Structure 1
């Protein structure tokens, strides 16, 4: 899948949620979010013949909490979804750290090649970041209007996550392990 299509697949459901909420309210926004999330999974499957684990987990949360929101006519459920997702991610990373299972290496090991210490520290950094996001989400939905919370979800959480990711680049570069030369080149005289 080309980068533009990937961006549409990943950010499209959130954009659809934002637009439909602003025009029709949170209930319609939630229904559109659920439908757009399913469409994104199908598009991903169509182009790649696989769907990565994280989008499936995210879709599961969207469908369960969106479904509860619509069924019970209570926007509390869609508002607490980001809190619970971030708490789950933080818990997985903290438990992985405590049990010396490197979850970050398992998830990103095909993309990055870091030292063990690099993986451990990166995992802890992300775990704390997810806790901060959970706390921010709780503070925002409890103190601001629903429309303000939707704006925070779209224009706050995603930019904060991108910024945090970019801030990890120097650390990642310091802890990268140089790729080994292929054996054929190493054996050549």
Structure 2
């Protein structure tokens, strides 16, 4: 299925909507205990139970609208289903808190394996939106590996040493802000190794 273009606002809503709903649900339910089918659940677990079908639905809608899902979106959905499902089934939020750590280690490992083979697999995901020379992709991939490893450590520190409220704030706002800041900090790299898309298309036509 060919990839289709959709409104950036629609895409942002599908990408971030489930996380925002989780944040709101957690803050409304965090102080309570809820009996469901004869079993007591904390507000954290109930919010997690709401998040799982929401992210599955939003991912399905995104796929139907665009005809394509990135490797990160697929991996995120699978890990949410596994670790979120374990948290609900075992009534233990620990598994859901570990999910970001597993995701970041997974991507660091995949990108690192590509680097060992002299390949920048990040280029396969982002090249269309960000044309750049191979040398630039290799540098950016190395930096992303370092970032993902640092975020994995940070997530472990936060959920193991701080309150649920701080961890939810960190997951909802802290991690996205760090990622956006990291990408913005690569401006000089993009400027040095970037390829003008119009010139590239013109060269291909010749």
Q: Same fold (TM over 0.5)?
A: yes
C-alpha distance in 2 between matches for 1:185 and 1:16: 47
| TM-score normalised according to structure 1 size | 0.92
The equivalent of 2:38 in structure 1 is none
C-alpha distance in 1 between matches for 2:139 and 2:205: 33
* Residue 176 in structure 1 maps to residue 176 in structure 2: no
The equivalent of 1:104 in structure 2 is 122
Structure 1 residues 50-61: aligned runs within 5 Å: 50-61=68-79
Render the CA deviation track for 1:11-67: whole Å, top value 9, x for unaligned: 111101111111122101111111110111122123223333321111111110000
Structure 1: gaps of 5 or more residues: none
Q: More helix by proportion, 1 or 2?
A: 1
Aligned residues: 186
Structure 1 residues 131-170: aligned runs within 5 Å: 131-170=149-188
C-alpha distance in 2 between matches for 1:175 and 1:72: 49
C-alpha distance in 2 between matches for 1:46 and 1:182: 32
When residues 120 and 70 of structure 1 are mapped into structure 2, their CA distance, relative to the original with a 3 A threshold, is same
Q: 1:37 aligns with which of 46, 55, 64?
A: 55
When residues 102 and 28 of structure 1 are mapped into structure 2, their CA distance, relative to the original with a 3 A threshold, is same
C-alpha distance in 2 between matches for 1:54 and 1:88: 10
Q: 1:65 aligns with which of 54, 58, 83?
A: 83
Q: 1:20 aligns with which of 25, 41, 46?
A: 25
| TM-score normalised according to structure 2 size | 0.85
When residues 39 and 165 of structure 1 are mapped into structure 2, their CA distance, relative to the original with a 3 A threshold, is same
C-alpha distance in 1 between matches for 2:50 and 2:69: 21
When residues 184 and 139 of structure 1 are mapped into structure 2, their CA distance, relative to the original with a 3 A threshold, is closer
C-alpha distance in 2 between matches for 1:184 and 1:4: 32
RMSD: 1.6
Aligned-pair distance for 1:117? 1.3
Is the 2:70–2:125 contact (alpha carbons within 8 Å) kept by the matching residues of 1? no
